[in-house]
Amino acid sequence: VFAEEEAELLLSAANTPAELDAMVARRVDGLPLEQIIGWAEFCGLRIAVDPGVFVPRRRSEFLVAQAVAAAGGSGSGPPVILDLCCGTGCVGLAVAAALDGAELYGVDIDPTEVACARRNVAGAGQVFEGDLYDPLPPSLRGRVTLLLANAPYVPSSELGFMPAEARLHEPTVALDGGADGVEIHRRVAAGAPSWLAPAGSLLIETSERQAPLTEHAVAAAGLDTHVVVSEEWATAVVVGRSAAPKARPT
């Protein structure tokens, strides 16, 4: 946002001049604006952002748009959404808000993110704490029609080049994607087939540079893949689709 907009947001968030001074001081220290005012706008929703959690990025609205588009072909019945590495829960919430009657589940490994996501998701779904698929109820196996992941994808050796706001004020576990940035994508992809419903879709946000590696991981899991790129948002989404149910012989 522009400086004038930031000033407006800080003014409207502070209840007293002393609170405003403290907020401005934290901003000057480099804290992300959203962690100071306590919320971010994402797909038209107001998402609570607690101190120390990953701030929703506008580019992830592209992931939301691709998921909503994929929902059209995901078979009949209400969508069952699984948002892995959910952070604040913004991606899953935005997709659920765009689709009728969605069941929503989120998972994150970081207890601070989980607490924030639980507040955001409230009665709209459930958020589990743990490593990827580990904390999920077995009853969800084979039922997920939209499996979403904006997982960490920064290569470990590039973390030091990130802007200070992210490097210093967002947890490393939210950013570090391992040696080539695709390590978590590989684990997400490998586990996806047993959780996806027939004709369900896996959608992973990645960078255009890393998209071939992410796509390779999704194809290796046996899903039909394609990549969608947004020049506008400088981002990419790898989409993998599980096989449609076999037609019954007549």
Ligand X SMILES: C[S@@+](CC[C@H](N)C(=O)[O-])C[C@H]1O[C@@H](n2cnc3c(N)ncnc32)[C@H](O)[C@@H]1O
Enumerate binding residues for ligand X (CB under 6 A).
Answer: 54, 56, 60, 85-88, 90-91, 107-110, 113, 131-132, 150-152, 173-174, 184
Q: Write down the least CB distance from residue 209 to ligand X, Å.
A: 16
Minimum CB distance to ligand X smaller for 91 or for 197: 91
Nearer to ligand X, 11 or 164 (CB): 164
Q: What's the closest the beta carbon of residue 15 comes to ligand X, in angstroms?
A: 27
* Closest distance of CB 175 from ligand X, Å: 6
Cα dihedral across residues 195, 199, 205, 207: positive or negative = positive
Query: Shortest Cβ contact with ligand X: which residue?
Result: 87
Q: Give 9-51 as a DSSP string.
A: HHHHH-SSHHHHHHHHHHHHTT--HHHHHTEEEETTEEEE--T
The residue among 7 and 115 lying less far from ligand X, judged by its C-beta, is 115
DSSP string, 80-148: EEEEET-TTSHHHHHHHHHSTT-EEEEEES-HHHHHHHHHHHGGG-EEEESSTTTTS-GGGTTTEEEEE
- Joined together, the tokens standing for residue 245 give 């149910």
User: Measured from the CB of residue 92, what is the shortest distance to ligand X in angstroms?
Assistant: 8
Q: Nearest approach, Cβ of 67 to ligand X (angstroms)?
A: 12
Give the residue with the Cβ less far from ligand X, 82 or 151. 151
Looking at the Cβ atoms of 56 and 79, the one nearer to ligand X is 56
Q: Rounded to whole angstroms, how far apart are CA atoms 117 and 130?
A: 13
Q: What is the C-alpha to C-alpha distance for residues 44 and 69, in angstroms, rounded to an integer?
A: 18
